Amino acid sequence: MSGEINWFELAVEDTAKAKTFFGTVLGWQTQQFESDDYHLVGTSPAGAIAPKSARLPASRVYFQTDDLDATLAKVAELGGKPGEAWPIPGMGRIAHCEDDQGTTFSLYQQG
C-alpha cells in the first residue's frame, strides 16, 4: 500500500556490534546477505544492518508508492529534492530523496 514503510537500512560503523545490540535490545534475528557486512533483519517491515559507506552515508527508510514518477514530481512540487529513479532487477524501482527541510528518505515502487 502506498505510503507504508516497506524497507529500512541501518547504516552503522560496526555491523557485528549492531547485530548484537539490536538483537539484545529488540530481539532481532539477522541473516548474512551478499557480503559479510550486510545482514537482513527479519522484522516487519523487513530491513538490513549495513556498513556506513558512500552508498549508505546514513540510515534510510523506504516508503512504498504505487507511482514512483508521480510521487517524485510531488516531492519537487513541494520543494523537496527528488532523486534519480533506478531499477532493482526483478523487484522494482527506487529513488533517494530529501524533503523540503533536507530530511532524507527513499521511495520504492514494486515492479
73 and 103 share a domain? yes
Q: Specify the pTM.
A: 0.85
Range of the domain at 94: 65-110
Q: Into how many domains does the chain fold?
A: 2
Which pLDDT score, from 0 to 100, does residue 20 have?
93
Tens-digit pLDDT string for the chain (111 aa) = 689 999 999 999 999 999 999 999 999 989 888 777 889 998 899 999 999 998 889 999 999 999 999 999 999 999 999 999 999 999 999 999 999 999 999 999 998
Verify that 77 and 39 share a domain, yes or no.
no
Indicate the residue type of 14. D
Please identify, among 17, 39, 56, the residue that sits at the C-terminal boundary of a domain: 56
52 shares its domain with 24: yes
CA distance 39 to 29: 9
Q: Is residue 22 part of a domain?
A: yes
CATH number assigned to the domain comprising residue 100: 3.10.180.10
Predicted pLDDT of residue 71: 97
Instruction: Write down the pLDDT at residue 55.
Output: 86
Q: Cβ distance 4 to 64 under 8 Å? A: yes
DSSP state of 45: S
Is residue 3 a part of any domain in this protein? no
The pLDDT, as a whole number, for residue 52 is 94
pLDDT at 66: 96
The region, left, alpha or beta by phi > 0 then psi within -120 to 50, assigned to residue 19 is: alpha
- Asked if residue 89 and residue 69 are part of one domain, the reply reads yes
Domain contains 50:
yes
Note whether 62 and 6 are within 8 A (CB): yes
